[in-house]
Amino acid sequence: MDLAPVACSTCGTPNEAGRKFCAECGSKLGVACAACGTINPASVKFCGECGATMRTDAAAALEEALR
């Protein structure tokens, strides 16, 4: 089974499946869910497989600082 190309959420460049970083801008293309291990686009807030929060520690710290 062939995997579909992945569009970079930062610059929109299509990248071949399996890449971890964008060929054009170097942005991270996917992040593993801490709860279930499913790879999700770097821009999502919740895992598409289990619904767990995909926030990084930096995102959580920024949100807390803005309160």
Model pLDDT for residues 27-43, shown as the tens digit of each residue? 999 888 999 989 888 77
Instruction: Please report, for the chain, the start and end positions of each structural domain, with discontinuous segments joined by +.
Output: 1-67
- The predicted structure's pLDDT at residue 49: 96
User: Which position has the higher pLDDT, 2 or 36?
Assistant: 36
Contacts of 5 by beta carbon, 8 Å cutoff, 6+ apart: 14, 15, 16, 17
Better-scored residue on pLDDT, 17 or 65 = 17
**Token digits of residue 20:** 């971890």
